[in-house]
Amino acid sequence: MPDILLEVCVEDATGLAAALRGGAGRIELCSALALGGLSPSPGLMAEAARSPIPAMAMIRPRAGGFLWSSEDLRQMKADIAAARTAGLAGVVLGASRPDGRLDEWMLATLLAEAEGMDTTLHRCFDLTPDKGQALETAIALGFRRILTSGGAPTAPEGAETLARLMDQAAGRIILLPGSGIRPETLPAIAHLPLREIHASCSMPEAEGAAIAAFGFGPPERRITSELAVRALKAALRLL
């Protein structure tokens, strides 16, 4: 079996360095991972562009759902342009309709802005009511991959759906399992025809009481761990 690529999501330059030292194969670059990941700053994009592996910028202007206004769309187009200017490999996109289906017009507009770049459809896919239909939509739009937990809170819990989607995809698009993937949960998805996986490889770090008291952050935050990246890489080699 070919090596399985490990994509690590990071939210700052320190996390980026830890992921690189640990042996990540690709970076998903975000801010605010505690909120599911928002668009990174231009400075972080520039830092990631200097790394020796591809980096994908999350394009998500705010926390919450994935119904975007015209103002959100302008911001996302500008963020895609910033990622291109920085020299990043690609972008991670998503847009929903009120009923949870993919917003084809919005996604096509964003993909046109990202023409020539690598593209991932993010986990708005997991909110779609018909994932088989959403898969075909993503393929028709031209996405290279879909980041998904199979519609469950974690990829190990969604393994059955992931298997069906991978069978339906038949190599036309990459299914990138993500959420809850650690060395101890890998056995639950080991039977899948994995090409890539996505993980945070993070560890909790306690913040000072004053940080939370003044509203600067939660009492505890998670930081990318070089050791966790190495451990997941080692577990993947045993599959």
Helix, strand, coil shares of the chain, percent, nearest 5, are 40, 20, 40
Domains annotated for the chain, with CATH where assigned, are: 5-237 (3.20.20.380)
2 vs 151, higher pLDDT? 151
DSSP 101-136: SB-HHHHHHHHHHTTTSEEEE-GGGGG-S-HHHHHH
Q: How confident is the model at residue 208 (pLDDT cuts 50, 70, 90)?
A: low
Apex 162 CA angle, 111 and 18, nearest 5: 70
CA dist., res. 201 & res. 89, Å (int): 21
Whether 147 contacts 120, CB under 8 Å: yes
What amino acid is encoded at 146 in this protein?
I
Strand partners, 160: none
**According to the model, what pLDDT value does residue 213 have?**
82
DSSP label at residue 179: S
**Could you count the other beta carbons within 10 Å of the beta carbon of residue 97?**
14
| Banded model confidence at residue 214, pLDDT cuts 50, 70, 90 | confident
Which residue from 224, 223, 166, 160 is spatially nearest to 196, judged by alpha carbons? 166
**56 and 22 in contact (C-beta within 8 Å)?**
no
SS3 217: coil
- The model's pLDDT over 217-229, given as tens digits with 9 standing for 90+, comes to 777 788 999 999 9
Q: Which residue reads 């779609």 in tokens?
A: 128
Instruction: Output 208 or 22, whichever has higher pLDDT.
Output: 22
**What pLDDT, on the 0 to 100 scale, is given for residue 238?**
92
Average pLDDT over residues 187-194: 96
Predicted confidence (pLDDT) per residue in 62-73, tens digit: 999 999 999 999
Quote the CA–CA distance of 67 and 191 in Å, as a whole number: 35
Which pLDDT does position 94 carry in this prediction? 98
How many of the other CB atoms lie within 10 Å of CB of 124?
A: 24
Residues 6+ apart with CB under 8 A from 53: 20, 24, 25, 26, 27
Q: What is the DSSP letter of 70?
A: H
